[in-house]
Amino acid sequence: MTELSIPETEHRRRTRDLLERADADGYDGLVLFGALNIHYASGMYHLPTERPVALGITDERIEAVVPRLEREHAERGEFLIDEVTTYFEYPQGDPMERVAEMCERLGLADGSIAVDSDGSPARNGYTGPALSELVDAEVGLEAYVTEMRETKSDAEIDLIREASVWANFGHRLLQERIEPGRRPIEVRAEVEAEAVKPMLDALGDRYEMRSWANPMQCLFTTGDVTELPHSMDQTTRIERGDNIVTIVKPTVGGYTTELERTMFVGEVSDEKREYFEIMTESQEIAIDAIGPGVEYAAVEEAVVDYYEEQGVAEYTQHHVGHNIGMEGHERPFLDVDQEGEIRPGELFTVEPGFYVPDVGGFRHSDTVVVTEDGTETLTDYPRDLESLIV
């Protein structure tokens, strides 16, 4: 793809959509405090800390309030911001007072304001005040941006597709570096460093980091640790006979993808082969079930029915998948209690899995985009057992 960012025309479309939603609900404009919401609406990304950052949106103009250390960045011409106001620091500087003044300039202070949070989120020691305490306006909490992010544009999908190309590359390096006696954290550090160089060399100056996260994240667990889906143990040494469950997550243009595989070190027992085949079949069932107009719940129900037939339902610990984009986990979810129907432009990590005590975990994950007439799997790494034996 030519560009590795969302074009300004799309940010303008997003802000128009936000204003239309707000107007339909009786609001005069919006103030956003969430870092990803600000990024989504204006293109301006930043490192969220205790220091409040706010974006005010009306039909006439868009303004931002940022700490001094973000001023030059926020004033970049490609961001959809007409004016930037700064304060020096928090707790000095009265940042929320500056936000209230912004609301006054935008004509919102005495009206009705849609917000994603009533003031800056409490993080890193930040404590209030709420926006509603500082303005006379009616302040209403709305999830407009969260709703809009459920479906992706062609530009967003292209960024996730590009990330998926590098996921396949990163996973190949990861598989090549795994060997008995090594610790996952050692392999991870080596692979991420080795994978990032060709990735950045290929993408060139078009690539821009939008967070402190490594552009190429390659993690895995090994042995008994694989029985815990979200274990952070990266220090247990790899041994022959281990299960390994990986996750590779590159980020391009602020959008990520997900590729996971279950692998084996050395000879694979008949028991593990059987569980592996059940797992891969369940993923195929889930992918085949996805399509526009299909209920979210129906996808997980199909997998649950199969797991019950195979006698492994008791080993499950999570639902079948989740949307993905600017964050690794977004709604909607492939879950029996998720209401609604799948729509074109949604992307899902399809990752049914189960975790057998004293045997190990079994989970593949692929990123799948929903099209008008079906699906397209963006991650393209071998899923068969023989290809995944180290």
CATH number at residue 371: 3.90.230.10
The answer on 169 and 142 residing in a single domain is no
**Which of the listed residues 148, 167, 184 is the one where a domain comes to its end?**
148
Report if residue 1 sits inside a domain: no
The answer on 367 and 333 residing in a single domain is yes
The CA-CA-CA angle for residues 307, 309, 310, to 5°, reads: 65
The answer on 351 and 211 residing in a single domain is yes
Q: Domain containing 35 — which CATH number?
A: 3.40.350.10
Alpha-carbon gap, residue 132 to 128, rounded angstroms: 11
Report if residue 219 sits inside a domain: yes
The answer on 346 and 204 residing in a single domain is yes
**Which of the listed residues 148, 171, 190 is the one where a domain comes to its end?**
148
At 190 the pLDDT is: 96
Residue 379's contacts (CB-CB under 8 Å, 6 or more residues apart) are: 164, 167, 168, 257, 258, 259, 366, 367
How many distinct structural domains can be found in the chain? 2
The CA-CA-CA angle for residues 254, 256, 258, to 5°, reads: 175
Report if residue 276 sits inside a domain: yes
The answer on 192 and 337 residing in a single domain is yes
At 3 the pLDDT is: 83
**Which of the listed residues 148, 165, 191 is the one where a domain comes to its end?**
148
The answer on 88 and 35 residing in a single domain is yes
At 253 the pLDDT is: 96
pLDDT tens sequence for the chain (390 residues): 678 999 999 999 999 999 999 999 999 999 999 999 999 999 999 999 999 999 999 999 999 999 999 999 999 999 999 999 999 999 999 999 999 999 999 999 999 999 999 999 999 999 989 999 999 999 999 999 999 999 999 999 999 999 999 999 999 999 999 999 999 999 999 999 999 999 999 999 999 999 999 999 999 999 999 999 999 899 999 999 999 999 999 999 999 999 999 999 999 999 999 999 999 999 999 999 999 999 999 999 999 999 999 999 999 999 999 999 999 999 999 999 999 999 999 999 999 999 999 999 999 999 999 999 999 999 999 999 999 999
The answer on 160 and 95 residing in a single domain is no
The answer on 137 and 15 residing in a single domain is yes
Can you name the residues that pair with 115 across neighbouring β-strands? Answer: 31, 141
**Residue 121 lies in domain:** 8-148
Report if residue 257 sits inside a domain: yes
At 128 the pLDDT is: 86
The answer on 203 and 142 residing in a single domain is no
Report if residue 2 sits inside a domain: no
| φ/ψ of residue 162, rounded to 5 | -65, -45
Report if residue 41 sits inside a domain: yes
The answer on 167 and 90 residing in a single domain is no
188 SS3 class: helix
